[in-house]
Structure 1
C-alpha cells in the first residue's frame, strides 16, 4: 500500500508527449498554397487564350491547352504536398476546391459556347460537381465524405477528355476524344450517385447518434433528481435519535403522561386514607378485634395495591424514549 489513491496514479499506457517537439502551424505562404494561387490566376488567362479570335485558331488553342494542363498538374501536387509536409491551412481547404471547379467549369462552358462540346455534357458535369460540393456541406456536421478511388478516376478522365477537346483534333483522334468524354460522363454520374448514397448513410448515422445521446442525457436527469432528494432527506434527519418521536409528538406524549400520573396518585391517596380509618376502628372495639384487624389488613392491602397500580399506569403511559433519558 503506497497511500496514493488509484485514480491519482498515472496510467501506465498513457503516452508521454512532454518531450516531443512542437509542430509549428503552417503559414499562408507555403508551396501548396502557392500552387493553388497559381491555378486560380491561370483561370482568367486560360479563358482569354481559349476564346481568342474566333476561338478556333489551332495556335491559340494550343496555348490554352498548355494553361489547362499546368492547372491540372498543380491540382495533383498541391494537395499531396500539403498532406505530406503538414502544410494544410484554412485557406487551402477553401481555395483548392474553388480552383478545381473554376478551371474545369471555365473549360466546359467555353467549349460549349464555341460549339465543340454538347451543352448537356457541360450541364451534367457541372451539376454533379456543384451538387457534391453542397452535399459535403450538408453532412459535414456529422462526418466527412472521403474521396473515393472512383472520384479520382473521374477527375483524371475529365482532365484528359477536356484537354483533348481543347486541342483542335481531327480524324481518329477526334473519335478517341469523344469516347474519352463518354467515359468521363459515365464516371461522373456513377461516382455522383455513390456520393449521394454515402451522404445519406452518414447523415442517418449522425442523427441516430444524436438521438441516442439525447435519450441518454434525458435518462440521467431523474437519477440526479433522486440523488438530490435522498441527500436532502439525509440532511433533514441529521441529529435525530433513532426511535424517538418528532419534537411536537414528544411534547404531546409528555403532557398526556403527566396527566395520567396525577390522576393515579389521587386515586392511591384516597384508598390509603380508607385503610387508615378501618385500622383505628379496630383499636376502639375489642369485641370485633379479629374482624377489624382483618378488615384493616385488607384495606391497607387495597391502598398499597392502588399505589402500585398508579405506578404501573405511569410507567406504561410514559414513552420509552423518556424512560431511557430519565424524563
Structure 2
C-alpha cells in the first residue's frame, strides 16, 4: 500500500476519535478565553478535524507528485472526505449547533455526485473535481472548523462567521451540484 493511501486510511481512523471528543462528555474541563467558555474536548476534536481535513490535500499532493495514483486511492480518498464531512455535520446537529436541513443539502449533493461518478466510471469515464467543487469543499471545511470551535474567536465580537461560512458552503454545494449534473448529463444519456 502506498503512502497516500495510508494517509487516507489514517484520516478515516481519526474520525471516530474526533467524534468521541465532540460527543462523549469527557472530564477535560473548559478554557475561558476572553469570556468565551470552550470545552477542551471540543477544541481537541476540532484540532483532529483540521488535521484530518489537511491530510486530504497532503495525500493528493503526494499521489500526484510521486505518481502514486491508484484505483484504490481514487476510491479511498473521496470516501475518507465524505466520511469526515458527514461525521462533522452529524456531530454539529447532535450538539444543536447546525440546522439539519443544511446537512441534508450537503449530504444529498455528495451522494448524488458520487452516484454520478460511479455511473461514469462504469462507462470508463472519470469526472474530475471542478473548481466550484473545490471552493465548496474549502468553505465547508472552514465553516465546520469554526463551528466546531463554537464560532471562536468570532464569538467574542458576536459575529456569526461559522454560520456565514456555512451559508456560503450550502450555496456553493447547490451551485456546484447543478454544475456537475449539467456538464456531465451525457453520462446518464449513455447509461440509459
Same fold (TM over 0.5): yes
Q: Which residue, 18, 27, 34 being the options, matches 1:46? A: 18
Give the match for residue 85 of structure 2.
104
How far off its partner does 1:113 sit? 1.2
1:64 aligned to 45, 63, 77, which one? 45
Among 173, 181, 187, the alignment partner of 2:166 is 181
Instruction: Tell me which structure has the larger Cα radius of gyration.
Output: 1
Could you say which residue in structure 1 is the equivalent of 2:4?
A: 32
Residue 135 in 1 paired to residue 116 in 2? yes
- Determine if contact 1:143/1:203 at 8 Å carries over to the other structure: no
Q: Is the 8 A contact 2:119 2:187 kept in 1?
A: no
What's the CA shift string for 1:72-97, capped at 9, x where partnerless? 00001101211221111232122111
How many angstroms apart in 2 are the aligned matches of 1:128 and 1:134?
10
Cα deviations by residue, 1:222-262 (Å, 9 ceiling, x for unpaired): xxxxxxxxxxxxxxxxxxxxxxxxxxxxxxxxxxxxxxxxx
**Aligned to 2:105, what secondary structure does the other structure show?**
helix
Alignment RMSD: 2.0
CA, structure 1 residues 131+202, in 2 after alignment: closer, same or farther (shift >3 Å)? Answer: closer
Q: Which has the higher strand share?
A: 2
Name the SS for the 1:106 alignment partner: helix
* Among candidates 105, 124, 128, match of residue 146 of structure 1: 128
Partner of 1:215: none
State the shift of 1:52 in Å: 2.4
Give the direction of change, closer, same or farther, for the CA distance of 1:89–1:137 in structure 2 (3 Å limit).
Answer: same
Cα distance in structure 1, aligned partners of 2:107 and 2:159:
23
> Taking structure 1 as reference, are residues 173 and 79 closer, same or farther at Cα in structure 2, changes over 3 Å only?
farther
CA offset at residue 104 of structure 1?
A: 0.6
Q: 1:136·1:199 contact (CA, 8 Å) conserved in 2? A: no
Equivalent residues of 1:32, 1:79 under 8 A apart: yes
36, 46, 62: which one pairs with 1:81?
62
Deviation for aligned residue 1:139: 2.1
Higher relative contact order (CA 8 A, sep 6+): 2
TM-score by length of 2: 0.86
Q: Is the CA contact (8 Å cut-off) linking 1:150 and 1:187 kept in structure 2?
A: yes
- 2:149 is matched with 167
1:116 and 1:165 in contact (8 A); partners too: yes
CA–CA separation in structure 2 for the residues paired with 1:96 and 1:102: 10
The alignment covers a number of residue pairs equal to 178
Q: For residue 175 of structure 1, report the CA deviation from its aligned partner.
A: 1.2
Aligned pair in 2 of structure 1 residues 173, 137: CA closer, same or farther (>3 Å)? farther
Q: Report the secondary structure of 1:145's partner residue.
A: coil
Kept in 2, the 8 Å contact 1:36–1:95? The answer is yes
Gaps of 5+ in 2: 31-37
Q: Deviations over 1:284-318 (max 9, x none)?
A: xxxxxxxxxxxxxxxxxxxxxxxxxxxxxxxxxxx
Supply the distance in 1 between the matched residues of 2:104 and 2:159 (Cα, whole angstroms). Answer: 21
